[in-house]
Amino acid sequence: RLIKIDSHKIEYLLINFFIAVQSLILRKKRHYQSMGVKIDDIVGNVQHFSESVIPQYRKKREYLLSLLAKHEVDSNNPYNKRIFKRIDRGSYLLNPGLQILYDEKWISVSSISDNQDISEDEIIKHSIEKQNKEWEEYRKKFEKERKKRERWDW
């Protein structure tokens, strides 16, 4: 099904937003978090746009959530464009079956994401390593404090 989304529509902005930052946001996820872009990630990034680019009412969480829900792959909305795939509550990815016209060729959104050199396994591995590093820093800090207290016989 072919659907044209004009460049002045918020859906157009969100598609480009997801293409640009989806893999960056996923890299920061913990291994136990859902592998999708959370609504808070979107709201936090959209707030930086000026009023002339995105009006204030379009920056609100409720508006963005309703837009994502309206255009979910599995939504029954008659105006649904099937742009987003819901991974978890409030967590979305671009529909992997979505294709965009670029340079007179149809390109799959998943191929664009795959070319960003990151997989879900790599995200999980990075998250576990990051958490282990944080635990090690906490352990060292705790040991240092324990030794300090032993010197003072606390």
Using CA atoms, how far apart are residues 118 and 131, in angstroms rounded to an integer?
19
Is 87:36 a contact under the CB 8 Å cutoff? yes
Is 91:13 a contact under the CB 8 Å cutoff? no
pLDDT at 96: 83
Give, as one character, the DSSP assignment of residue 89.
T
Same domain as 132, residue 59: no
The more confidently predicted of residues 111 and 123 is: 111
State pLDDT tens for residues 117-140.
Answer: 556 676 667 677 878 888 899 999
Q: Per the structure, how many domains does the chain have?
A: 2
pLDDT at 146 over 70: yes
Domain limits for position 76? 10-117
- The residues, ordered by sequence, that sit 6+ positions from 24 with a Cβ below 8 Å of its Cβ are none
pLDDT at 33: 64
Supply the pTM of this predicted model. Answer: 0.65
pLDDT at 114: 59
Using CA atoms, how far apart are residues 79 and 102, in angstroms rounded to an integer?
24
Angle at 49 (CA atoms; ends 111, 105), nearest 5 degrees: 25
Same domain as 79, residue 131: no
State pLDDT tens for residues 46-63.
Answer: 898 899 989 999 999 999
Same domain as 42, residue 30: yes
Which amino acid, residue 71? H
Same domain as 112, residue 124: no
State pLDDT tens for residues 61-74.
Answer: 999 999 999 999 98
Same domain as 110, residue 50: yes
> Among 109, 121, 82, which residue's Cα sits nearest to residue 18?
109
pLDDT at 35 over 80: no
Using CA atoms, how far apart are residues 34 and 29, in angstroms rounded to an integer?
8
Structural domain includes residue 131: yes
Structural domain includes residue 30: yes
Residue 142, token pair as written in the block: 């705790």
Structural domain includes residue 40: yes
Average pLDDT taken over every residue of the chain: 83
Structural domain includes residue 76: yes
Structural domain includes residue 67: yes
Residue with tokens 């969480």: 61
pLDDT at 116 over 60: no
